[in-house]
Amino acid sequence: MSSINRNRPALTIILLSFFFISSSVSTKFTILNSCTYTVWPGLLSGAGTAQLPTTGFALAPGDSAIVPIPPSWSGRLWGRTRCTTDPSTNRFTCLTGDCGSGAIDCSGSGAAPPSTLVEFTLNGADGLDFYDVSLVDGYNLPMLITPQGGNNCTPTGCAADLNMGCPNELKVMTAEEGEGVACKSACEAFGDPQYCCSGAYATPDTCKPSTYSEMFKAACPRAYSYAYDDGTSTFTCAAADYLITFCPSAANSQKSANPVAVNPTMQYGSSGAYEPSVLLAVIMLTLPIIFFDGSVPRLDISATRRT
């Protein structure tokens, strides 16, 4: 891993140089690693949108990087964890969030689930930026989007450690230590159309929250928990830059009292029944549940702002 991190100063120079020569109306993403371990961000541009100056790099604990984003860009960003380079093949792989490129740059490839995803459409309808944090493809680490500048813009994300209380049937474990490193979506785990919102369940009327997506929603109320969770999970902002934080500090967020405050019946699913593993997970994950009040980790960065 030291050979990967050795290139960080050069990467910072490249990204900042691109920022200063790019259009003055570019949006700035500041990506901050507040985890206690190295994270390798991956970035993927949507079809028909401009490409980014980088599609992957390493961030050591406490490090940050500025990535200039072209106008009207859409795409996603995620974190890769437990990455290594095979000395015999020089192939780079990650235990979670791997994009399959075999290199630090993802080069147009997306994240393998389960992965926490940050999604953006910039300068969309009415000139607004649309953004969300999605658990639809599962979860591998906490992430938070914090708008910087703009008017009446709302932070969103998932600061809870879902790996801690992930039900056994969804849990991804390390082979060596048996440690939970990611939590699958029910769609990935079981492939059932009603979990995947596919086939006969491909509309908002027919695809409803599952026991498992309700567990995710209880722990992370502002994150997408299933495909049609738009109403409480998509946010808009105008004329802002964005701070994207891996492992945001829970100390800077409000805490709820207990899981009963989220669901007084403590029952999940349309039938009102719950599985013991899911109930245990909800209790663990909601001690505490994180609600964002705008008091979030911020970075003091001296850089050219948009005009």
* CA 49/CA 42 separation, integer angstroms: 17
Q: Output the pLDDT for position 80.
A: 99
Is the distance from CB of 20 to CB of 304 less than 8 angstroms?
Answer: yes
What angle do the packed helices 276-285 and 211-219 form, to 10 degrees? 10
Cβ 82 vs Cβ 179: under 8 Å = no
Chain centroid, CA 302 distance in Å: 26
Model pLDDT for residues 162-171, shown as the tens digit of each residue: 999 999 999 9
How far apart are alpha carbons 218 and 286 in whole angstroms? 7
Distance (Å, whole) CA 219 – CA 259: 9
Q: What distance in Å separates the CA atoms of residue 210 and residue 216, rounded to the nearest whole number?
A: 10
And the tokens for 113? 């689930």
In Å, the largest CA–CA distance within the chain is 58
* Domain total of the chain: 1
More confident residue, 254 or 158: 158
| Residue 299 or residue 283, greater confidence | 283
Query: Is the CB of residue 145 less than 8 Å from the CB of residue 78?
Result: no
302 in a structural domain: no
Residue 136 and residue 160: Cα distance in Å, rounded? 16
The pLDDT of 272-289, averaged and rounded, is 44
Residue 51 lies in a domain: yes
User: Rounded to whole angstroms, how far apart are CA atoms 226 and 229?
Assistant: 6
The CATH number covering residue 55 comes to 2.60.110.10
- Which of these, 103, 28, 42, lies nearest to 77 by C-alpha position? 42
Look up residue 252 and give its two tokens: 């800077």
| pLDDT classification of 25: cutoffs 50, 70, 90 | low
Query: What is the per-residue pLDDT for 305?
Result: 30
In a domain, 194, yes or no: yes
Judge whether 305 lies within some domain.
Answer: no
CA torsion sign, 100 to 102 to 108 to 114? positive
Tokens 């939590």, located at residue: 183
Query: Is 299 inside a domain boundary?
Result: no
3-class SS of residue 191: coil
Q: Look-up: residue for tokens 């200063």? A: 20
In a domain, 36, yes or no: yes
Residue 134 pLDDT greater than 90, yes or no: yes
Using one digit for the tens of pLDDT, what is the confidence trace for 228-250? Answer: 998 889 999 998 999 999 999 74
| Residue-range definition of the domain harbouring residue 233 | 2-291
Between CA 211 and CA 221, with CA 216 as vertex, the angle to 5 degrees is 120
69: amino acid identity, one letter:
I
Tell me if 298 is assigned to some domain: no
Q: Which helix (H) or strand (E) holds 189?
A: helix 186-190
- Is residue 307, in this structure, part of any structural domain at all? no
| Helix (H), strand (E), coil (C) string for 70-118 | CCCCEEEEEEEEEEEECCCCCCEEEEECCCCCCCCCCCCCCCCCCCCEE
pLDDT greater at residue 220 or residue 280: 220
Q: How confident is the model at residue 18 (pLDDT cuts 50, 70, 90)?
A: very low
